[in-house]
Structure 1
Amino acid sequence: MISLLTRGIRRVFLTELIVPRQILKMSASGDGTSVHRKVIGTHSGTFHCDEALACFMLKKLPEYANAEIVRSRDPAVLDPCDIVVDVGGEYNPSKHRYDHHQRSFSETMNSVRPEKPWQTKLSSAGLVYLHFGERVIKQLMGEPADQTKVDAIYDKVYENFMEEIDAIDNGVNQYDGEPRYIISTNVSSRVKHINPDWNETADDMDERFQKAMALVGSEFVDKVTFYSNSWWPARELVEDALNSRFEAHESGEIVVLNAGGCPWKEHLYALEKDLAIETPIKYVLYTDQAGKWRVQCVSVSSHSFQNRLSLPEKWRGLRNEELSRLADIPNCIFVHASGFIGGNETREGALCMATKALVMNKT
């Protein structure tokens, strides 16, 4: 899977993204006969991140892979198109019309799919993602994908990439009040700057739109790649550790990860809920970059510095032989002064530290 992703889905070929404005709906097949060639319609003039990404995603689907992209505001040009995004004043999935500018439009991910929590008004990119996103993700993954994995990646990509584009395009503020500083390097801003300046004459708008598609498309692909190749394997690792937690310790409150460097916190909190774990995990064991073992306390929440159960106060700030002697555990390396993490030369030693801490803190 990883070889397919790294060789394939990161490639963005500019030449395939957009074609001249003339609609040529018939093209020659291999045997010389004429076949229907699909057409994607969007508006001409100044472009934005949402329709650039909408077109990019559609081009990743087999039925639109060879489609032409026509940029126009003329209904006579747009009406024959197989699919139209960000123009036309109509949202009608049965006709493949995906505009969000009409006064009557107020759809969100939640309003169309009530099982989804997001309530930001959708842009054309969000609409295309809503209706085609799962298929696009499967195409980019390039393999028969487990639906649970696809569903999880779909949600993460919307939450951490797509929703931002929807919000910016629709003028939805991220928060109330005045910002302390301005962020002008998000992908929507960078796409905007591909347009010509106000005092610049440009006759290469189609080529510029091509660049916009490539820019936002490559970042979309990067997100899918990350969640498929890194985030999901980490989740599987944490889930395996949780399912075998009673093998690590009879309390079920100590988890041992089989690989170091895994970003485990987000997954731990989520999986505790998904797996209905009644007794919260207190300590997580894993190897560091030097191959030594760490025992880390689980905080009360992902954004908190307060631990569910800190390492014993009398261990804190001690190192090596002094710590080993006081704790009566061989091969200790350290315990942080705040008590949130400690280290040992061996897995057995780290597990012993966690086990003793569990007992000492509960007595």
Structure 2
Amino acid sequence: MSPSVLKICTHSGTFHADESLAVYMLKLLKRFSNATVVRSRKNEDWEAADIVVDVSGKYDGKKFFDHHQREFTGTFNSNYKTKLSSAGLVFKHFGKEIIAELLDIDEQKKPKDVEMLYDRVYKDFIEAVDANDNGIDKYSNQDELVGRFHDRNFSLAGVVSNLNPSWNSDPTDADFDRMFIKASTIMGEAFVEYLTYMGKSFLPAKKFVEAAFNSRKEIDESGKIVLLDRYVPWKEHIYAIEKENNVVGQILYILFPDTNGNWRITAVPVTSSSFDSRKKLPKEWRGLRDEALSKKSGIPNCVFIHAAGFTGGVESKEGAIKLAKMSL
């Protein structure tokens, strides 16, 4: 069939983040790019459609992608426990194809890249959509958690929910359909921006980090200092590269040029989300700046060392190397 006559069907009425995203993801594919979207709860519309998401009470991985059946318990794979929503179902079956097309990656030539992005994008983006739609709390014991502020309306799911027409405006199906398009665009554009970042920024950065890792002993024979000749997203790559080379926990400091022309020294965190470092910069330097820091360290043209000891700056590459070696 020509792409112009393909039909994607989802339910009418109140819409949610999951089907808003599911529909947008399908339309990212060339074969569905010109498809019409039908919002209906009528069986005849489901049967007439080429693919049906978030409605029908059926899931076959081919045409029907609903998750509301009592017996449905599907997850992305055995590594995940979160029940899939329509967004997760669509990504599970079409995610690799979406990644390959959107990022122009040949899956046959670069299967590891596609596989990494497939898992990472699910974990960092889609799984939260699945959990939200299925009423799954992020924390196992909500009673023990007291939030400092309300962030429901700050989330994508909250934004989408608020786009539904007001109950007291006597909304028509056309009103819901019009706002669904807006909701789908918001969810879809956020997804595309994240996937594009991962594929065109995060993933290519690994080769720069690997090259710096492999030449690290040219900087210091201990192998604990890595110097990047330009800034790239390095944090998560360092942990992966250490693991691949059986030197987990060895790298202590990363050096790289700052945007203002100075050089930065950063202590590697204990984990990618931790504020604690494997080895902080020396206590006697912390909180000092400029001449006071240069005098204390004996290294000229220092700029600062953060009071928490996790990062600092100096005007030259040579100075950054000296700071790192002394910090060892």
Given residue 38 of structure 1, which amino acid in structure 2 is its aligned partner? L
Q: Please give the residue correspondences for 1:137-152 in structure 2 after superposition, counting only pairs within 5 Å.
A: 137-142=99-104, 144=106, 146-152=110-116
Residue 104 of structure 1 and its aligned partner are, at CA, apart by: 0.5
* Comparing 306-315 and 346-355, the one that deviates more: 306-315
Distance in 2, Cα, partners of 1:66 & 1:331? 59
Helix, strand or coil: the match of 1:255?
A: strand
Task: Choose from 40, 52, 64 the match for 1:84.
Answer: 52
- 1:9 corresponds to: none
* Comparing 123-132 and 295-304, the one that deviates more: 295-304
- The answer on 1:49 being equivalent to 2:17 is yes
Aligned length: 319
Alpha-carbon RMSD across the aligned residues, in angstroms, is: 2.6
Task: Choose from 127, 130, 144 the match for 1:166.
Answer: 130
Distance in 1, Cα, partners of 2:238 & 2:225? 12
- 1:310 corresponds to: 280
Helix, strand or coil: the match of 1:79?
A: helix
Cα pair 1:283 1:354 within 8 Å, conserved: yes
Distance in 2, Cα, partners of 1:51 & 1:305? 36
Q: Deviations over 1:191-237 (max 9, x none)?
A: 22222211222332332222222121111112112222332243333
Given residue 297 of structure 1, which amino acid in structure 2 is its aligned partner? A
Distance in 2, Cα, partners of 1:36 & 1:265? 44
Task: Choose from 106, 123, 131 the match for 2:93.
Answer: 131
- 2:196 corresponds to: 225
Distance in 2, Cα, partners of 1:152 & 1:220? 16
Cα pair 2:230 2:257 within 8 Å, conserved: yes
Residue 167 of structure 1 and its aligned partner are, at CA, apart by: 0.9
- The answer on 1:284 being equivalent to 2:267 is no
Q: Deviations over 1:318-363 (max 9, x none)?
A: 55566556545444444445543343332122212222332xxxxx
- 1:10 corresponds to: none
Residue 247 of structure 1 and its aligned partner are, at CA, apart by: 2.4
Cα pair 1:90 1:97 within 8 Å, conserved: yes
Distance in 1, Cα, partners of 2:14 & 2:228? 51
Task: Give the structure-1-normalised TM-score.
Answer: 0.78
- Work out which of the two has the higher radius of gyration on C-alpha atoms and give 1 or 2: 1
Q: Please give the residue correspondences for 1:201-220 in structure 2 after superposition, counting only pairs within 5 Å.
A: 201-203=170-172, 204=174, 205-220=176-191
Q: Please give the residue correspondences for 1:1-363 in structure 2 after superposition, counting only pairs within 5 Å.
A: 37-93=5-61, 95-110=62-77, 114=78, 117-142=79-104, 144=106, 146-175=110-139, 176-178=141-143, 179-180=146-147, 181-182=149-150, 183-203=152-172, 204=174, 205-260=176-231, 262-278=232-248, 280-318=250-288, 320=290, 323-324=293-294, 327-358=297-328
**Structure 1 segments of 4+ aligned residues over 6 angstroms from their partners:** none
Helix, strand or coil: the match of 2:101?
A: helix
Helix, strand or coil: the match of 1:269?
A: helix
Helix, strand or coil: the match of 1:184?
A: helix
Structure 1, unaligned stretches of length 5 or more? 1-25, 28-34, 359-363
Residue 315 of structure 1 and its aligned partner are, at CA, apart by: 4.4
Distance in 2, Cα, partners of 1:164 & 1:319? 42
Distance in 1, Cα, partners of 2:75 & 2:307? 47
Task: Give the structure-2-normalised TM-score.
Answer: 0.86
Distance in 1, Cα, partners of 2:296 & 2:17? 60
Structure 2, unaligned stretches of length 5 or more? none
* Comparing 317-326 and 228-237, the one that deviates more: 317-326
Given residue 79 of structure 1, which amino acid in structure 2 is its aligned partner? E
Identity value in percent: 46
Q: Deviations over 1:154-209 (max 9, x none)?
A: 33322222111111111111222245243223222222222221122233233222
Q: Identify if the C-alpha distance between structure 1 residues 337 and 89 changes in structure 2 by more than 3 Å, giving closer, same or farther.
A: closer
Given residue 92 of structure 1, which amino acid in structure 2 is its aligned partner? D
Cα pair 2:103 2:200 within 8 Å, conserved: no
Given residue 44 of structure 1, which amino acid in structure 2 is its aligned partner? S
